[in-house]
Amino acid sequence: MDRVNAEQTRPEPDFTAHLFDLDGVITPTAEVHMRAWAEMFDAFLRSRGVVEPYTERDYFAHVDGRPRYDGVRELLASRGITIPEGADEDPADQAPGEETVRGLGNRKNDRVLALIRTEGVAPYPGTVAYLDALPAGARLAVVSSSRNAEEVLRGAELRDRFEVVVDGMVAAAEGLPGKPAPDTFVRAAELLGVAVGDAVVYEDAVSGVAAGAAGGFGAVIGVDRGAGHEALHGAGATRVVDDLDALVPSASSDATEAGR
């Protein structure tokens, strides 16, 4: 299924710059993040005696695409739980009843890194095919809420493909609000020296699509890895695909021919 907003007439490869989210767009690490969030929140909510369990729906509604600590706050707020904010250096192994927002976020992050180092990370073949099909002069950036983007890109052997990486570390250092605010995508375009209208955003998260739409980018491509086509369109995607290889010119032509 590949739905295109009728107002978008410019093919994506024709844009000057291409701004890719990482987890769920370039690499399937979104699945790793989902597992780590579930393990952390399940244990925390049980320790608090919360009856309503953490579910996959919670991930897409409150966590997906957001900076780590924002995700913790959003989920806890959905359960009416308030805990101290804490500091970035708070340990992951805080005792029950002494947890902080940042300590829980660090606990989740430790689990993500352990899973990545144990199981490895490989990019989506469809994304690599699309990167290979882009024009030689295309300007490429990664825009991720993750503070582990550099490590994940190196593990996937793709770091040299991207001129710019604006991740959670950069956002924190520069005071940039995270998605769904558009600031990190706008900053990536600035670093590439490209106007937002000449750049495409590629996102799998509703919050990320909303960020691209708010930033006035030339196109916002939703990649449906579970959020759903309707939700991504509703957040402002100009086009939604199941995989980025659907945007490879030959694949798009084949799909058009097959539909005739």
Q: How far is CA 137 from the centre of its chain?
A: 25
Query: Going residue by residue through the chain (260 aa), what tens digit of pLDDT does each one get?
Result: 455 554 555 889 899 999 999 999 999 988 888 999 999 999 999 999 998 999 999 999 999 889 999 999 999 999 999 999 999 999 999 999 999 999 999 999 999 888 888 887 899 999 999 999 999 999 999 999 988 899 899 989 999 999 999 999 999 999 999 999 999 999 999 999 999 999 999 999 999 999 999 999 999 999 999 899 999 999 999 999 999 999 998 754 444 444 43
Pinpoint the alpha helices (H) of the chain. Answer: 29-47, 56-58, 68-78, 101-119, 125-133, 149-155, 168-174, 183-192, 206-214, 229-235, 249-258
Residue 95 has a pLDDT of 95
For 31-119, CATH number out of 1.10.3470, 1.10.8, 1.10.150, 3.90.550 equals 1.10.150
Neighbours of 14 (CB within 10 A): 12
23 is catalytic: yes
The domain segmentation of the chain, as residue ranges, is 3-28+122-258, 31-119
**Could you give the count of Cα atoms lying within 13 Å of 47 in the half-sphere of its Cβ?**
14
- Please give the single-letter amino acid code of residue 91: P
Q: How far is CA 220 from the centre of its chain?
A: 13
**Could you give the count of Cα atoms lying within 13 Å of 155 in the half-sphere of its Cβ?**
21
Q: What predicted TM-score, i.e. pTM, was given to this entire model? A: 0.75
Q: Are 3 and 233 in contact (CB under 8 A)?
A: yes
Residue 29 has a pLDDT of 86
Neighbours of 249 (CB within 10 A): 11
Considering 23, 70, 167, 224, which one is annotated as catalytic? Answer: 23
Q: In what order do the strands lie in the sheet with 17-20?
A: 3-4, 239-241, 219-223, 199-203, 17-20, 139-143, 164-166
Q: Which residues does 86 contact at the CB level (< 8 Å), separation at least 6?
A: 100, 101, 102, 103
Q: Which long-range contacts (CB under 8 A, 24 or more apart) does 3-10 make?
A: 3/229, 3/233, 3/239, 3/240, 4/238, 4/239, 5/233, 5/237, 5/238, 5/239, 7/238, 8/219, 8/238, 8/239, 10/218, 10/219
219-223 and 239-241 as β-strands: parallel, antiparallel, unpaired?
parallel
183 is catalytic: no
CA–CA–CA angle 247, 135, 219 (5° rounding):
50
Considering 2, 14, 21, 183, which one is annotated as catalytic? Answer: 21
Q: Count of H helices and E strands in the chain?
A: 11, 7
Quote the tokens at residue 250. Answer: 């030959």
- State the CATH class of domain 3-28+122-258: alpha beta
